[in-house]
Structure 1
Amino acid sequence: MEAPSPQPDLARNRLPTLFEVLSRRTLPPVDLFSFYIYMRDQQRSVDYLDFWLDVAQHMSLCRHYVRELRRSVMIGTPDLDRASSKRSSMILENMGDLEPRIAGPSMLATEKEKSQDAQLSNFLREDTHDSPHSGYAAMRPSPQFSNSHDITTDSNSPGHTVARSDIKASAEKILYTFLLPGAEREITLPGSITEDVTRAIEDEGRDDPEVFDVAKDYVFQAMERDAFPGFLRMKALGNSIPPTLVLRLIIGLLAIFGAFWTGFVLIFLDKSRATRCWVILPFTIGVYFLASYQYSLDPIIALLGYSEYTPFNFSRIREPYIRTLLAKRALMVLAVTVLVDAALCILFILVPGKRL
């Protein structure tokens, strides 16, 4: 049986947390894809998010491997093979079923999850120190579990057997891609964290999930502190992105300038009030675009139920709370726009004309 995909919480009557976004329990415009685009285009720090996702994938691989191995040991492995590592066998049998779940920061884990993760890492460390010819190092699941449709998998786990070498390769890839000085996508972490991870993988030969716990928690807290509040402001309180906001500012200023210039010209030429009604058009355009820039929200697009994720590309707002919140803000912005526009138009239309 395959593990169910994370289900969005449609009854959530609040803004989502970072962990809910990372665990794919939210919908556009506050989903993981939108957060990835934000980290890439606005924060310019997508490597931190990629590191988190790779560590979560590594955790998923470890759980998948141990889950398959435990089933093989409990059902299809002879006692003689199990005797090759009595301590590992004991840890494996006492571990219990590994329920599929998304890897998260240590501070959000329950005591049960922390205990299970510690047992998982403990077993993998024991497994690493076993002889290459031991039953665990060479073991594969029994045939009845070899079908990918019969294996309980995490959301990111592959649908095939995970080899012990896959876990080691995954840990080394994370180290060489993100953590070592001069790495291709090096992220900035305290030196002590990088040194501890490097020593654990290269010198001690470890590849269990606990190796990355401190680094993972540090990255999570950094994203939660430095990036996530800006993401919520942009996506939950607005529906536009900086490049198009700048364009709206330019259009708004040009329209307002044109409206004032036209209004004064018509007044000093002593044109009729009916003629001066033409200033409604540039004033409306200018006030609308300047209000959109000020609130980072295009009210008409918001009321239609769309949010911008890249320039002039829109996705439907599917998160219920966000949709309601943006609709309320859109009505407020429209009200401000109408009031300011009406005040300016009335002033320039009703003021007495005087030909110079």
Structure 2
Amino acid sequence: MSSERNRLPTLFEVLSRRTLPPVDLFAFYIYMRDQQRSVDYLDFWLDVAQHMSLCRHYVRELRRSVLVSTPDLSKEAVGSHRSSALLDDSMPGPSNRRDGSFEDRTNDQRLSAFLRADSLNFDQFIEQGNREDSQRGRHSGSLPRGSNDPSSSAFLSTPDPMADQTSPSQTIARADIRSSAEKILYTYLLQGSEREIVLPEPILSAIANAIEVDGRDDPEVFDEAKDYVFQAMERDAFPGFLRSRALGNLIPASSMVRLMMGLLGIFAGFWAGFCMIFLDLEPKLNRLWLILPFIVGVYMLMAHQYSLDPVMALLGYSEYEFGRFMRIKEPYVGVLLSQRSIWILVLCLIIVACLVVLFALVPGKRL
């Protein structure tokens, strides 16, 4: 997937784990934690995405339990799109509304609509379906229980699979979804919460009212907050992340170390050069040794200026924490860093050559 992308990735691709180091989700998390100092926003987005995944899994297990409990229904569902639309179409794709397709957004809405209906009316549907099954059993003996209409009582006439906590196929209960939604609310959104993030008051009020008053726990509750956080990260953090990881391979601390080393190298070169001139040391070819401090000083200063260590980039490494490195696996980023590294090395050689030639040609004068 990433090998076909001849461009820098988008934020949604990074959050969806479609990229490779050094522009993957792990690197973005480290950047948000150590440099942007706003990792709570990323954690909120990831927790909401996890909540969405939990809901999908719940609906998938619910459908599987319904089909296992009603064999006749499973046979008819194979050839009927309508009978499985309520549950199958509730498996959404990308949750972000700006990057997902129209079909993905529709599936997200269906998932939330199903969960709201399940929370409010599922028990009523079961009771009504059982009564109708009993009546059909008395009047017609062995009528098929399947139906092409997902809203019919036969489609929801089996006991709630999530009510049986000992079911072998059960992995997630509806209470888990409720607990997940409340955890997000109490961790990130309520005033004074452990990791409170700054969101517009209308969004916070709407979410708190939906969860605490209306009893909702479907993913659509967090849509506005998730989109707001996504846009904030895309506007404020992601451009800096790309500059840091796709155009450079050093973190600020390492860049400052190279600045100090570069200044020391340049100072050493100028000090040695002036000593050779004012002491009028012979032969003048000894001044060519100035290339050593100058090349170290210029190299380190250029690495600091561009936040890019050329040699390290050509070897295929990028720094994500001080003294800790990762392999560059994103093809386009690797090519981009290699090109910039070669250009920096050429520029370093030109500057060093100019400095060495300048000091070598200046006539000596012993003081």
Shift of the alpha carbon at 1:104?
A: 3.0
Match of 1:26 among 5, 9, 19: 19
Matches for 1:1-356 after TM superposition, within 5 Å? 8-77=1-70, 93-95=84-86, 97-98=88-89, 103-130=94-121, 135=126, 138-140=160-162, 146=168, 161-272=171-282, 273-356=284-367
User: Which AA in structure 1 matches 2:161?
Assistant: M
Residues 36-81 of structure 1 show CA distances to partners (whole Å, capped at 9, x for unaligned) of: 000000000000000000000000000111111123224424899x
**Given the two structures, how large is their TM-score scaled by the length of structure 2?**
0.83
**Distance verdict in 2 for CA 1:99–1:353, change over 3 Å:** farther
SS in 1 for 2:18: coil
Structure 1 gaps, min length 5 = 1-7, 81-90, 148-159
Q: Distance in 2 between matches of 1:11 and 1:141?
A: 46
RMSD (CA atoms): 2.4
Name the CA distance, whole Å, in 2 between partners of 1:186 and 1:34.
23
Residues 86-143 of structure 1: per-residue CA shift (max 9 Å, x gap) = xxxxx9843252586664321222221122111111111111123769758842499x
Percent identity between matched residues is 59
For normalisation by structure 1, the TM-score amounts to 0.86
- Aligned-partner residue type, residue 290 of structure 1: L
**Residues matched between the structures, number:** 326
Spell out, residue by residue over 1:275-311, the C-alpha distance to the aligned partner (whole angstroms, 9 max, x if none). 2222111111000000001111100000000000001
Q: Which residue of 2 aligns with 1:86?
A: none
Partner Cα separation in structure 1 for residue 306 and residue 255 of structure 2 = 10
| Contact 1:60-1:103 at 8 Å conserved across structures | no
Q: Distance in 2 between matches of 1:235 and 1:67?
A: 38
Q: Quick check: 1:70–1:92 contact (8 Å CA) kept in 2?
A: no
The structural deviation recorded for 1:146 is 4.9
Distance 1:92 1:17, change over 3 A: farther
SS in 2 for 1:104: coil
Verify the 8 A CA contact 1:63 1:98 in the aligned structure 2.
Answer: no
Q: Distance in 1 between matches of 2:305 and 2:358?
A: 23
Aligned to 1:314, the other structure's residue is in SS state strand
| TM-superposed deviation, 1:177 | 0.4
Residue of structure 2 in register with 1:88 after alignment: none
Instruction: Report if the CA contact (8 A) 1:256-1:286 is conserved.
Output: yes
**Offset of 1:349 from its aligned partner?**
1.5
- Give distance in 2, aligned partners of 1:28 and 1:253: 31
Judge conservation of contact 2:93–2:104 (CA < 8 Å) in 1. Answer: no
On the 8 A contact 2:66/2:161 being kept in 1, the answer is no
Are the aligned partners of 1:56 and 1:102 in contact in 2 as well (CA < 8 Å)?
no
CA distance in 2, matches of 1:267, 1:104: 69
Equivalent position amino acid for 2:27 in 1: S
Distance 1:99 1:202, change over 3 A: closer
What is the identity, as a one-letter code, of the residue corresponding to 1:104?
Answer: S
Q: Which amino acid aligns with 1:179?
A: L
User: 3-state DSSP class of the match of 2:2?
Assistant: coil
The alpha-carbon distance between structure 1 residues 277 and 146, as it changes in their structure 2 partners (threshold 3 A), is same
Contact 1:241 1:310 in 2 (8 A): yes
Judge conservation of contact 2:265–2:294 (CA < 8 Å) in 1: yes
Q: How far apart, in 2, do the equivalents of 1:329 and 1:104 lie?
A: 36
> Matched residues in 2 for 1:141 and 1:78: separation?
20
1:190-227 deviations in Å (ceiling 9; x for gaps): 11101100000001000000000000000000000000
Partners of 1:141 and 1:16 lie apart in 2 by: 44
Measured in 2, the distance between the counterparts of 1:111 and 1:349 equals: 69
